[in-house]
Each structure stands twice: as structure tokens, then as C-alpha cells.
């Protein structure tokens, strides 16, 4: 047999325990991967309509990794890993359906790029959704491993695929794992996180490695190093490779391998998997690979590679493996037959994929969210004999109830564990009651705190996490936007992320520029997450439980000034505490204060549409206008109770939208504009808005803070003008 590549170097024959059947399948799949890359290049007018990358040069290590992945395991492949997917049992046809964004793409229904898989299918390793990987996959993948370890500690089973969702009506999975002798692996689940060496420079990767060694998690970080980013070389991007870098993480077992040599890669990956399954601790495998294809179809190798491509070609895994198999008594005829089968399959699958239907445009909006678990208010809001509770205590009791009821629930974040139980004591004594496995502190890693919940959710754990202050959420926004918010939509509904993210928010009493900010408008530009903002203890308890039960990412904003009702005018944030199990549907506003019916009939009233502290500012201000002010407490900002907003505006004809945020370009201004567009004919005055001054931060001095923020007096001034319009 001849190859269209440069001659392979001297062949070393590493010892192997791989069976002839495994070697045969691996060779056929390596040839399949080669044929895919060749076909895509020959038909680039069709195949490069949407961007893609192929595994050329990386096939050997990827196929070796696939031998470690059984139906009880989890994988986070990256965008060059189509050979790993073939090794896991996916067919060329399925990969091509994604390449061409076809309706039956099993990962996303035509919504996301080639080799960006999401898969929950019986008989296969689970592949949770991840974004275009530039290191970000390390955190959700580590969250999967942490979820596995947590559920094992609680003796709770992992979430499994629906057994009815099998491969072609129960046919055997055509991957490599089933070819591995059963005595070489066990059922202890593991995670493989695949990543490029360039992405190892991302700070979020270090957060993931830190947590993996801190908690000794069952994960393999497979680093495929081809010495290139896009057009940047390794020497431009780093002073050490991933193997050298990983030495700084004590407790991270390290291995190196020749990623262009299947036999060496197989031996290394089996060693890594055995270590993880037996010791339940993390491993990093550094695999050196050539880059034989384009970085992506949109970045042509001939534009910048020069002589480097010829040097990489000398390391081509295909001729090397071919020669090794001849040395293991395979014949040229046998290998040619496998090559012919691979080519025939690719050609046939390509014709099928070309003819496959495109998505129905009518489905474009499907799966923004998974259906809510709570659709109506249930439980006792004001049980007989119940005492009034502070908002902070209502939240604490709600979490306590959840941890008692749901063994898969856990709570973590900065300072929420141990003795303190949160800087606001919102988790006081929970760690003592439930143990450090369920309620624990994390490093100061907002990205990990948020992003890990995507992995936790994928295995069936139900995380509640906390960001200490709203001003500190920004390092976590990368994960919130790319990994959590898009997961349900881009996985075609396979992987909604159940995640409750608690965030203390708001200003009072001199908190200063880094402990007082309001962030809801930024959050509300992120589609695919829900944003909740209670104003009192009863709502806090009911909404927190609903947020926990919701199968989607929910950010719960908790105003620090309402926690203890110490701020003048916030006494009504303290309410009778609802019974355990009380729940309020997300997206349901509440009339906190109604207007007098006679004054309403006389056209003397208005509505203030607000949330959080705004409810209490308005309550105080409205005492100057008895019976004339309705307060509509939104409670949930997304989904918005638009029906309640419209009804209130049409009922009164005059509306003020009140926020604590700087007003310019805020959610409040957006809502006011929407009201004017849809309720114009019922308005008796322009929609008024009131918010904080348009400044970049809240000053530390309390007098400067007062000047910037709304307060009851400012609200009263706005109400007087609106009612008199």
C-alpha cells in the first residue's frame, strides 16, 4: 500500500495488549477519519459552507482515548475531535449531518458547529454540551467529575440516558470501547476532558485543575499538543508545555505519550483510565501530535504554515500505524479491505447526508428553556401561628428544606461552608448539619463556581452556588453565557442546566464601589437564563424553591439591604414565614399594594412597576398619596410577567418604572419603551422612569451614595409629577 504522505520515520513497536479486533477497528476508523478529511477538502464548496476542523494528525490519540469511554462514562471532546467521536461509536453520517447543519444532526438539530457534540444516548458515553472550546470546557468537565464524586458519596445514582433512546433500535455500538477486554476496565465512571495545548494558557483551565486536585476527582485531561494555535506557534504562546505546567498542581498524576502513535497512545490512555478508575483521582496526559489539516476550514494552512507542514507530515499517524500492523502479522490485503470499507462508508454517508432534510424553520425558537417544574403557587404562604421571619432567614430555611428533601442537592461557594456560613450568615450552620461534602467553601473562582454547575447538572446533581457579591460575578460571566445559557438550546433540549446561582446585590449604608452594584440589566441581555429578584421573606422562600426545582439556570438576586430589614422603610420585607414546600412559579408578578377602587375609577391613580428595594421605596413614598399608587412587584425579571404589566398599565393609564440601577440603557428603560409601544392608546401620560445616576460605580461615602441612588423622596417627587400630568 502507498500513501500520499512523506515516508514515515523509523517505527518503534511499543508493547501492546490490544486485541487484533481492537486494532482492526482502530485502523478502519483511522482510515475513516482520513477519508472524511479528504472528502471535505475535495468538496469544500459544500462542506465549508459552515466552519469545521478535522482530526488529521490527531487521529491516533483520539481513537486511543475512545477505547477508555464506556456507556457509564462522560466526555468533553473539543472541536478537532471527530476521530474520538468515531471511536466512541458515532457514524460518519451523523457527523456529516452536523457538518451540513441538517435537521437530524443528533447533537444539536443543525444549531451548532461540526464536532461540537451533545449526546445522551443509551449504550454511549454521555457528552454534555460545551461551547467552542478555548479552554472553557475544562470547568464544566471538571464539574461533571465533581458531580460524580458527590453522588457516589451520597450513594445516589448518576443520571442515565433513557434506555428507549438506543442506537438504531438496540444495535451494538460500533465504537472501540467494546473491543477492550473486560478485565481492563471497571464500571467506576470517569470523565475525559480533551483540550488543545494552546487553550491550557487560559486562566479557567487552572481553576479546573486546582479543583480536580483539591477534591481528587475522577477525570483525565487529555492535552493534544500540535504546537499551533491558529497562526501562533507554541513558542509564541508559552514557556512550557502542558506536562511541565501540570507539575505545579500537586496531586495531578502526569503522563506523556506520542500522540501520533496509536499503540503508544493506547497504552498510555489505558494506564490513565486504570489510575482514575482505581484511585478516583485526576490525570493529565500530554500527547504530542502533528497538525496535518487546516486549523479550521476558514483558515487555510497554506497561508502561514510554510515548511512546517512538511515536517509535521513526517509524523502522520496513518502510515506509522499501517507499518506497525504489518509488523503484527496483519496483511496488506486485509488492511486494504479495511481501507476500502472506510472509503465506501464515507462516500455512501456523504450522499445520504447531502439528501437529508434541513431543519424546519418553524422550530428555530424551540428549547430556549426546558419546561418549568413549578407552574402554580402551592403550599402555605402564611401558616397559622407562624412567626415573622427575616428575608435572610427565610432563604436559609428554604435551602435547609431542600437539602433535607433532595440528597442530590449540594451548596457551595465562597465562605458558605464551615463556621461562618456566608458573609451574610445566609448559610449559617448548614455545613455543620449536612457535612463538608454537601456544603463547602470553594476557592475564589467565580468561573468555576458557575461553570461547574453545568457539569453537575449533566450527571444529575442539583447545585446551589453563591457568588459573594454581585460586583464579583464578572469573572463567571464567560461560563454563564457560553456554557450555561446556551446548553439547552444548542443541545436541542438534551442538556438543560439545572443551576441555582445566589447573588447578594444592591447598595445600602456605605458598601462602596465593589459591594453595592446592581447587575440585572447585564444579566437580562443573556438569553437562556432566568433572573429572579424577591422583595420580602415570603417571596424569597417560595421563589428560591421554585428556582431550585426549575430545570434551567436561575440567578437569584438577593438585596443585602432587605436581608435584615434594618434599613428604614424595609420593615415589610420581614413577613410571616411560609411552610416548608411553599413555592411560587417563576414569571408571576404580585400586586404588593393595590390602589383605592374609587380613586381608580376617578382616574386619580398610577402604577409603579418595580422589584427588590424599589418596592419599599415606593411603599414609603406612596403614603403621601393615599390610595393612589399601585405597586406591581415583578419578582421575576426573566421570564417577565408581561400580562400583569400590561394589565396594570391599562388599568391606571399612568406608570412609573423604578430601578436601583443606573437608568441609562437599563432594563427599566427597555421595559418603559415596550410599555409605550404596546399600551400607547391606554396611556394618559408618558411612561416615567427613575433609577440611579448614570455613573460607573457607587461611592463609598454614604452621602455620595444617597445622591446617586433613588430613595423614597425621589420616588415621591416622580409620583407627584406623574399623578399631576
The pLDDT assigned to 52 comes to: 81
62: left (phi over 0), alpha (psi -120 to 50) or beta: alpha
Range of the domain at 119: 28-160+189-355
Judge if 424 and 309 occupy the same domain. no
The pLDDT assigned to 48 comes to: 83
Judge if 417 and 550 occupy the same domain. yes
Out of 576, 609, 639, a domain closes at 576
Out of 518, 545, 576, a domain closes at 576
Give catalytic status of residue 515 as yes or no: yes
Residue that the C-alpha cell 476557592 belongs to: 443
Judge if 503 and 430 occupy the same domain. yes
Cis check: omega of the bond before 199, within 30 degrees of 0 = no
- pLDDT per position as a tens digit, 296-339: 777 777 777 777 777 888 889 999 999 999 999 999 999 999 99
What's the average model confidence in pLDDT over 551-566?
Answer: 96
The pLDDT assigned to 9 comes to: 44
Judge if 526 and 599 occupy the same domain. no
pLDDT at 185 exceeding the cut of 70: no
Instruction: Look at strands 553-559 and 439-441 and give their pairing.
Output: unpaired
The pLDDT assigned to 674 comes to: 98
> Number of structural domains, the chain?
3
- The grid coordinates of residue 20 equal 487484533
pLDDT band at 174 (very low <50, low <70, confident <90, very high): low
Question: Residue 98's domain is classified under what CATH number?
Answer: 3.40.50.970
**How many residues are given for the chain?**
725
Nearest CA to 185 out of 88, 67, 51 is that of 67
Backbone φ and ψ of 662, nearest 5°: -55, 135
DSSP 106: T
Judge if 516 and 620 occupy the same domain. no
Judge if 330 and 407 occupy the same domain. no
Judge if 595 and 653 occupy the same domain. yes
Q: For residue 48, with 0-12 CB atoms within 10 Å meaning exposed, 13-18 middle and 19 or more buried, which class applies?
A: middle
- pLDDT per position as a tens digit, 56-85: 899 999 999 999 999 999 999 998 899 999
Strand-pair partners of 499: 553
Catalytic residue chosen out of the listed positions 58, 286, 295, 515: 515
- pLDDT per position as a tens digit, 631-686: 999 999 999 999 999 999 999 999 999 999 999 999 999 999 999 999 999 999 99
List b or e across 509-541, with b for residues whose CB sees 16 or more CB atoms inside 10 angstroms.
eebbeebbbbbbbbbbebebbbbbbbbbbbbbb
Q: What is the DSSP string of 561-613?
A: HHHS--STT-GGGSEEPPPTT-B--TT--EEEEPPPHHHHHTT--EEEEE-TH
Question: Residue 685's domain is classified under what CATH number?
Answer: 3.40.50.920
3-class SS shares of the chain: helix, strand, coil, % to 5: 40, 15, 45
Judge if 479 and 518 occupy the same domain. yes
Judge if 235 and 299 occupy the same domain. yes
Amino acid at each position: 500500500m502507498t500513501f500520499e504522505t512523506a515516508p514515515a520515520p523509523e517505527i518503534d513497536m511499543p508493547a501492546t495488549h490490544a486485541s487484533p479486533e481492537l486494532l482492526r477497528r482502530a485502523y478502519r476508523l483511522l482510515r475513516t477519519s482520513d477519508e472524511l478529511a479528504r472528502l471535505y477538502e475535495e468538496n469544500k464548496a459544500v462542506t465549508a459552507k459552515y466552519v469545521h476542523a478535522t482530526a488529521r494528525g490527531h487521529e491516533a490519540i483520539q481513537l486511543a482515548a475512545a477505547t477508555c469511554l464506556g456507556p457509564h462514562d462522560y466526555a468533553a471532546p473539543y472541536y478537532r475531535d471527530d476521530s474520538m467521536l468515531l471511536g466512541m461509536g458515532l457514524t460518519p453520517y451523523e457527523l456529516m449531518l452536523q457538518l451540513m447543519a441538517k435537521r437530524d444532526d443528533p447533537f444539536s438539530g443543525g444549531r451548532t458547529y461540526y464536532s461540537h457534540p451533545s449526546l445522551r444516548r443509551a449504550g454511549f458515553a454521555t457528552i454534555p454540551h460545551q461551547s467552542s472550546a478555548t479552554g472553557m470546557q475544562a470547568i464544566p468537565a471538571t464539574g461533571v467529575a465533581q458531580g460524580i464524586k458527590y453522588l457516589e458519596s451520597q450513594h445516589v445514582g448518576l443520571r442515565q440516558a433513557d434506555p428507549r433512546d438506543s442506537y438504531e433500535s438496540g444495535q451494538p455500538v460500533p465504537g472501540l470501547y467494546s473491543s477492550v477486554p473486560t478485565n481492563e476496565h471497571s464500571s467506576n465512571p470517569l470523565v475525559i476532558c480533551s483540550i488543545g495545548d494552546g487553550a491550557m494558557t487560559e486562566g479557567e483551565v487552572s481553576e479546573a485543575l486546582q479543583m480536580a486536585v483539591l477534591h481528587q476527582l475522577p477525570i483525565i485531561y487529555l492535552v493534544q499538543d500540535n504546537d499551533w494555535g491558529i497562526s501562533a506557534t507554541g513558542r509564541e504562546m508559552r514557556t512550557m508545555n502542558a506536562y511541565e505546567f501540570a507539575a505545579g498542581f500537586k496531586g495531578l498524576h502526569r503522563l506523556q505519550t506520542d500522540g501520533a502513535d496509536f499503540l503508544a497512545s493506547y497504552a498510555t490512555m489505558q494506564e490513565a483510565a486504570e489510575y482514575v478508575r482505581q484511585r478516583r483521582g485526576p490525570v493529565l496526559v500530554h500527547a504530542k501530535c502533528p497538525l496535518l489539516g487546516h486549523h479550521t476550514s476558514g483558515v487555510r494552512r497554506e497561508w502561514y504554515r510554510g515548511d512546517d507542514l512538511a515536517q509535521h507530515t513526517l509524523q502522520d499517524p496513518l502510515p506509522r500505524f499501517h507499518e506497525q500492523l504489518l509488523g503484527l502479522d496483519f496483511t496488506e490485503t486485509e488492511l486494504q479491505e479495511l481501507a476500502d470499507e472506510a472509503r465506501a462508508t464515507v462516500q455512501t454517508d456523504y450522499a445520504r447526508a447531502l439528501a437529508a432534510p434541513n431543519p424546519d424553520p418553524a422550530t428555530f425558537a424551540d428549547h430556549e428553556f426546558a419546561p418549568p417544574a413549578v407552574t402554580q403557587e402551592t403550599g402555605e404562604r402564611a401558616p397559622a401561628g407562624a412567626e415573622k421571619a427575616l428575608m435572610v432567614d427565610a432563604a436559609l430555611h428554604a435551602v435547609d428544606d431542600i437539602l433535607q428533601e433532595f440528597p442530590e442537592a449540594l451548596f457551595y461557594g465562597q465562605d458558605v461552608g464551615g463556621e461562618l456560613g456566608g458573609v451574610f450568615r445566609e448559610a449559617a450552620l448548614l455545613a455543620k448539619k449536612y457535612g463538608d461534602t454537601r456544603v463547602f467553601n470553594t476557592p475564589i473562582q467565580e468561573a468555576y463556581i458557575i461553570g461547574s454547575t453545568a457539569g453537575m447538572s449533566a450527571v444529575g446533581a442539583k447545585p446551589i452556588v453563591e457568588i459573594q457579591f454581585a460586583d464579583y460575578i464578572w469573572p463567571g460571566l464567560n461560563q454563564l453565557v457560553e456554557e450555561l445559557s446556551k446548553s439547552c438550546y444548542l443541545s436541542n433540549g438534551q442538556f438543560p442546566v439545572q443551576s441555582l446561582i445566589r447573588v447578594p446585590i444592591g447598595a445600602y449604608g456605605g458598601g462602596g464601589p465593589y459591594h453595592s452594584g446592581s447587575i440585572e440589566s447585564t444579566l437580562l441581555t443573556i438569553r437562556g437564563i432566568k433572573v429572579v429578584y424577591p422583595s420580602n421573606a415570603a417571596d424569597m422562600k417560595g421563589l428560591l424553591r421554585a428556582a431550585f426545582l426549575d430545570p434551567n439556570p436561575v440567578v437569584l438576586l438577593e438585596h443585602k439591604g432587605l436581608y435584615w430589614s434594618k434599613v428604614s422603610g424595609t420593615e415589610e420585607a420581614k413577613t410571616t414565614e411560609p411552610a416548608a414546600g411553599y413555592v411560587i412559579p417563576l414569571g408571576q408578578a404580585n400586586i404588593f399594594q393595590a390602589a383605592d377602587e374609587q380613586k381608580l375609577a376617578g382616574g386619580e391613580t398610577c402604577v409603579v412597576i418595580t422589584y427588590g428595594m424599589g418596592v419599599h421605596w415606593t411603599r414609603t413614598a406612596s403614603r403621601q398619596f393615599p390610595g393612589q399608587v399601585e405597586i406591581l412587584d415583578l419578582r421575576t425579571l426573566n421570564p417577565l410577567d408581561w400580562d400583569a404589566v400590561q394589565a396594570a398599565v391599562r388599568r391606571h393609564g399612568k406608570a412609573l418604572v423604578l430601578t436601583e440601577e443606573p437608568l441609562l440603557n437599563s432594563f427599566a428603560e427597555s421595559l418603559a419603551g415596550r410599555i409605550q409601544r404596546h399600551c400607547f392608546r391606554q396611556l394618559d401620560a408618558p411612561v416615567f422612569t427613575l433609577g440611579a445616576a448614570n455613573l460607573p460605580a457607587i461611592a463609598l461615602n454614604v452621602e455620595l451614595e444617597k445622591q446617586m441612588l433613588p430613595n423614597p423622596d425621589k420616588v415621591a417627587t416622580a409620583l407627584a409629577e406623574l399623578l399631576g400630568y
